[in-house]
Structure 1
Amino acid sequence: MSAQHINQYAHTTHEHHDYDAAQSYEREQGSCDWRMLPVALVVWGVNLIVYQLWNAWQEAPSGDGYEPHMATSGISLGDSRTMMLLIVALASLLLGIAVGIALRCRRKRQVAGILTVCCIAAMISAAATIADTTIQWHDAAMALARDGPQYVSAIVHVTSPTVSASKRDADCQVDGVIRTIFDGTVERSANGAVRVFLQSPHCTTSIATGSYQVSGELATAEYGSKPLWLIADDRGALREVAPPRITAHAVAMMQQAMFAVCADLSDQARILVPGLTVGVLGQDIVLQGTAAASSEPSTIMDSLDINATYAEQLEDSFRRSGIMHLMAVSGGHFMILAGFIRRMCARMLTHRWITALAMIAGNCALAAIVFPSDSVLRALSMGCLSAICLGLGRRSQTVSGLCWTVIVMLILTPSMARSYGFALSCAAVLGIALIASPVQHMIAILLPDTVAEATAMTIAAQVFTLPIQVLMEPELPILSIPANVLVAPFVGFATIAGLMALAVSWLSPDIGYALAWIAGCGTRVMERCAIWLGGKQYATVPWAGDLPGVLLILLVEGVIAAGVMLCVRALARRSTPDADSPSPGARKFPFRPRERFALWLSDTKRMLEEASE
């Protein structure tokens, strides 16, 4: 080959290398794919805006007096405004497509694509929210409840276990969906979500995920996540219409067996072990069937002489110290289970698809045996996405998986956009995924790696969830970071022991009691930390509520973040190359207390050894 050919080949190869490098630069890095983050935020924001506009239209006065714009039948002003909103959403879509076409060039291609997808997602989210609110408005149960409290007989499909009632004149409650409703005149089909309040004779009856006929007063909810309340009375017994599934019976049996085992533990363990394991505090548990000590006391607090004042004080201490999230099932439970399954499958050298299917099955089983909540559904969805990525041979991406979970769940179930539990869960995961690693690198200068990791995760989650917490309650838990760091070493083994107790208590109560006792040892530390830190007068700081409080906390967090970044840059300048040093490339001694202390300790040890010789 001649020298000319060699030069031409080298020049062509160099050009192809530069082109490939430019193309790879324009592509999104797979390990930090944030492209769906603005889409998820748009879906969530449009959902909330449409819902608020809908409420404003329905509550606005019409004519001479107050009258809802939308009737239960026919076409009215509410329908026309709905159509106008759909037209505006469609116009936004067309505008987004036009902007995408205008910006579609080589450097702005990604931005144009994201803008187009955001417009499409906004239209879909608006349409889904309108459809959901319209269906809920026209529901037969909602129409009866809007006319005022009425005595009805309804067939309710129960979707949650029985817990202690949040209403004073009831003993226990269950959540469900009204399938059929009879108001004394006409029997109609319905599909409204309802919270049923029961009296003590029915609380100890084994109520699983089945259909039951309930008679009582139907009314709109005064608070809570369900739009309807059905307050059952004693005129008729609770009658089973459709038996629950076998799996529901098995889950109820496992839960009740564990609750009966926890009855022999200390007071703090009776309250905290069920909360850490299945997501419901001990004072809210209702013993049913053979697990109930008698038919009169309906809750574990009543039957086992748990002091109501102590239970309320302990719950308040957990809230004030900022560790109340430990008493809710979250992604930590699913991560523990998924890690265990992966290690077992790796030891047996199974194919990755078998491992993925085992992880999905394990996640579904865990979601079935714990108490249902929005955070559990979010964790289940992300766990299944992570397992699918494993089966495809790809690394799971937390931010991308969270965004897709939010988009799909809010489109399928728009009401979840107004759930504080779902919002807190998503915000915590997003904060940990985005800033936990940088924060850990910064504070690792001062703290050991293990403590730095726990502190960084707490700070990251706290920064993103504080605005939502201010909306829920206008106060700041300033001791939440040290509280979470102190209990972090005990959360893992206590959760594992609690889940093992849940799995074996129905088979061997003695082994289940031993495992629950181990979990109680971990919750003992949590109790001590909560009472110690949560009992301080300065554990929480009053804060502005509603939107002003949210804006204020965002401003404070922004100022603190800017100050931290300036300090980090100032410290980084101290480790730049030292021009005065005779050695080329020498750097200034960095300001790292851990390294300085280690050097001082090693020098002192060496000096003592030399002196002894």
Structure 2
Amino acid sequence: MPPWEIRERGSLDLRWFLAAVSMWVGVLAASSEPFRTAVLVAALCCVLPLSAAAAWRRTMAGATYAATLGVCAAAIAAGMGVGAAHVLHRMADPVMTASAASGTTATLRMRLDSPVQASSMRGAACKAQATVLALHHDGVAEASGLPVLAMLPQEACSTLGQGATVMADATVARSPYDAQAVWVTVSDVHDREPAPWWWRTADWVRSRFFAVAARLDADSRILVPGVTLGVLGQDTVGAWALDVDTERADQLEEQCKRAGILHLMAVSGGHYALLGPLVHALGAWLRTPWRLTALWRLPLAGALTMVLVPSQSVTRAAIGALLAMGFECCGRRPQTLHILALTVILALMQDPGRATHVGFALSCAAVAGIALLAPSLTAVLGRMMPRGVAQALAVTIAAQAFTLPIQMVMDPSIARWALPANLLVGPCMDVATVFGLLACACAIASPELAILPAQVSAWGTKGIAMVAGCFGADPSAGIPWVSGWAGILAIIAVELASGASLWCLAQLVRAWRLLRGGEDFRDTTPPTVRTARWIRDTIRTWDRLPWWHHG
């Protein structure tokens, strides 16, 4: 068959993925001094074999080993270039220089990049992500562009919103947890510039939703804002602060962490995935051209991004949603792995600091695991269990397998019941998210109209709280693990061994079925038909029993 008649399967083409991994490696090698040697070794051990595997599966483009290796080398060079430029830019920033001497006081002009949230740090009532625009020191104003974490006093918590610009006296210092992060503790706010109208509109929408959430029960006031907008109830401050029992909130958050389901409180691609069916249903009802239908995602994704509390996972999901819209406008089917790779490349080019951000790495790793492992795991597990259960289990295992090594960087422990907890909480999470977003949309028109969907979302969060209490109540639910690189390599070795064991088990099941039935058969009859057949056969069996008729 000629090459031009072979149908290309984009899901098997790893070239974009390899380029994204290579760029990430290059950025890490240039921007993180302690990781340079380890990253370069990882590049030789991972990127080159993957390049060979991708080249071995030739596509219509005729990719060869040399071409794939050349693209990976170019991506590493590009990553090192943007990473080095990022490091030099940060070193030259006046705020970064001032933070080297801990306790430096200066007057800063800052723009708040996130809503104000409650802070647990001493001396600060609330906090917000911000960007320093200028540093005024000794009568000299120096331009800056450094992202910082702003610790704000009590009087600023209820008056400042996302997008506002302030002039404030503050103390600049490095974070005690990350030497590259800068914390700014504000002591006095001199001047305030109101946020643009679009950010004020987003704050108004959030306030309407929180007014509805305030009518829910205690646990729902904590969890419903988290699964809907990405901020837990105890973190709300200012005019829309929720009345939350902080002791119960801390207990519930700790239980979710022990059960391995705390990641559900971080907004991810699930919110943006809901836009696809909504847009297609609306386009089919209005009978609009398919390109115009795809373009409707743009304003919806933009509005959703503005209302959600900013995070690295939201950034990754928003860029992916825009790329998916571009694929559909071009008449191409979106490929998850390609969209992820392009998202990583664009995100790292825009801000190379994301390469060392754990939240961004976890979000990308979860999507990569689902795209790479979930289809194969579904096929393997489908031989041993119903397909619906196999698919849910495969998605959970794939995401956990890719994110566990990164989680070892933050907390060297393994949630003992993470797998069953994530399986059980999945349907509850879907209900809570869908109806939470519906309540947020209805609250724009009328808070009374949003009560019913908010209550349904609260019912979904009750399942989350129940699972967290069941699997996370025991303080020993977490298995201690080795810290550092030894722990990361050990968990990777355990995952590889578990994968090999699962493959061997699947082969044994297949061999047993071949010996039993003469072929690798599998009942693909719908569940309703199988249930009716089972009831009919059961009745026939009872009719054949002599003692049944005598009774």
When normalised by structure 2's length, the TM-score is 0.88
**Structure 1 unaligned blocks of 5 or more:** 1-17, 58-84, 86-103, 292-298
1:37 aligns with 2:17: yes
8 A Cα contact 2:279 2:297, kept in partner: yes
Q: Distance in 2 between matches of 1:609 and 1:469?
A: 58
8 A Cα contact 2:269 2:314, kept in partner: yes
**Structure 2 unaligned blocks of 5 or more:** 41-57
Give the drift of 1:431. Answer: 1.0
Q: For residue 47 of structure 1, what is the amino acid of its counterpart? A: V
Q: Distance in 2 between matches of 1:530 and 1:215?
A: 42
Give the drift of 1:267. Answer: 1.2
Give the drift of 1:510. Answer: 1.4
Q: 1:228 to 1:538 in 2, by over 3 A?
A: closer
1:150 pairs with 80, 91, 104, which one?
Answer: 104
Q: For residue 166 of structure 2, what is the amino acid of its counterpart? A: Y
* Residue equivalent to 1:427: 365
Give the drift of 1:29. Answer: 2.3
Q: Distance in 2 between matches of 1:107 and 1:507?
A: 52
1:496 pairs with 405, 422, 434, which one?
Answer: 434
* Residue equivalent to 1:607: 541
Q: For residue 36 of structure 1, what is the amino acid of its counterpart? A: W
2:205 pairs with 244, 248, 254, which one?
Answer: 254
Q: Distance in 1 between matches of 2:73 and 2:385?
A: 45
The SS at the match of 1:154 is strand
Q: Distance in 1 between matches of 2:228 and 2:521?
A: 48
8 A Cα contact 1:451 1:485, kept in partner: no
8 A Cα contact 1:148 1:219, kept in partner: yes
Give the drift of 1:125. Answer: 0.6
Q: Distance in 1 between matches of 2:61 and 2:225?
A: 54
Q: Distance in 2 between matches of 1:603 and 1:538?
A: 47
Q: For residue 131 of structure 2, what is the amino acid of its counterpart? A: V
1:372-395 Cα deviation digits (max 9, x unpaired): 011111111111111111111111
Give the drift of 1:587. Answer: 3.1
Q: How does 1:161-180 map to 2 (within 5 A)?
A: 161-180=115-134
Q: 1:414 to 1:166 in 2, by over 3 A?
A: farther
Q: 1:470 to 1:326 in 2, by over 3 A?
A: same
Q: 1:224 to 1:243 in 2, by over 3 A?
A: farther
Q: Distance in 2 between matches of 1:287 and 1:200?
A: 9
Q: Distance in 2 between matches of 1:328 and 1:478?
A: 21
Give the drift of 1:313. Answer: 0.8
1:230 aligns with 2:184: yes
8 A Cα contact 2:28 2:35, kept in partner: no
1:126 pairs with 69, 77, 80, which one?
Answer: 80
* Residue equivalent to 2:55: none
The SS at the match of 1:174 is strand
8 A Cα contact 1:128 1:412, kept in partner: no
Q: 1:496 to 1:111 in 2, by over 3 A?
A: same
Q: How does 1:419-568 map to 2 (within 5 A)?
A: 419-568=357-506
Give the drift of 1:208. Answer: 3.0
1:266 aligns with 2:217: yes
Give the drift of 1:590. Answer: 7.5
* Residue equivalent to 2:47: none
1:187 aligns with 2:125: no
* Residue equivalent to 1:401: 339
**Cα RMSD over matched residues?**
2.9
Q: For residue 446 of structure 2, what is the amino acid of its counterpart? A: S
Q: Distance in 2 between matches of 1:107 and 1:422?
A: 31
* Residue equivalent to 1:344: 282
Give the drift of 1:177. Answer: 1.0
1:489-515 Cα deviation digits (max 9, x unpaired): 222221121112222324312122332
Q: Distance in 1 between matches of 2:182 and 2:341?
A: 31
Give the drift of 1:591. Answer: 11
Q: Distance in 2 between matches of 1:225 and 1:326?
A: 28
Q: For residue 29 of structure 1, what is the amino acid of its counterpart? A: R
The SS at the match of 1:161 is coil
8 A Cα contact 2:383 2:506, kept in partner: no
The SS at the match of 2:127 is strand
Q: For residue 83 of structure 2, what is the amino acid of its counterpart? A: T
Q: 1:107 to 1:524 in 2, by over 3 A?
A: closer
State the identity as a percent.
Answer: 31
Give the drift of 1:280. Answer: 0.8
Give the drift of 1:474. Answer: 0.6
Give the drift of 1:588. Answer: 7.5
When normalised by structure 1's length, the TM-score is 0.80
Q: 1:277 to 1:226 in 2, by over 3 A?
A: farther
* Residue equivalent to 2:50: none
Q: For residue 220 of structure 2, what is the amino acid of its counterpart? A: A
1:245 pairs with 182, 187, 196, which one?
Answer: 196
Q: 1:589 to 1:182 in 2, by over 3 A?
A: closer
Q: Which moved more, 1:129-138 or 1:352-361?
A: 352-361
Bigger Cα Rg: 1
Q: Distance in 1 between matches of 2:179 and 2:439?
A: 30
2:33 pairs with 47, 53, 68, which one?
Answer: 53
1:139 pairs with 81, 84, 93, which one?
Answer: 93
> What is the total number of aligned residue pairs between the two structures?
524
Give the drift of 1:204. Answer: 1.2
The SS at the match of 1:505 is helix
Q: 1:249 to 1:590 in 2, by over 3 A?
A: closer
Q: Distance in 2 between matches of 1:352 and 1:214?
A: 50
Q: 1:225 to 1:203 in 2, by over 3 A?
A: farther
Give the drift of 1:352. Answer: 1.4
Q: Distance in 2 between matches of 1:409 and 1:600?
A: 54
2:170 pairs with 208, 216, 219, which one?
Answer: 216
Q: Which moved more, 1:192-201 or 1:107-116?
A: 107-116
* Residue equivalent to 1:383: 321
1:266-301 Cα deviation digits (max 9, x unpaired): 11111101000000111111133xx4xxxxxxx53x
Q: 1:174 to 1:109 in 2, by over 3 A?
A: closer
Q: For residue 247 of structure 1, what is the amino acid of its counterpart? A: W
Q: Which moved more, 1:36-45 or 1:552-561?
A: 36-45
1:207 aligns with 2:158: no
8 A Cα contact 2:29 2:35, kept in partner: no
* Residue equivalent to 1:196: 150
* Residue equivalent to 2:269: 331
Give the drift of 1:526. Answer: 0.6
1:277 aligns with 2:231: no
8 A Cα contact 1:574 1:588, kept in partner: no
1:40-66 Cα deviation digits (max 9, x unpaired): 111111211222238999xxxxxxxxx
The SS at the match of 1:196 is strand
8 A Cα contact 1:574 1:590, kept in partner: no
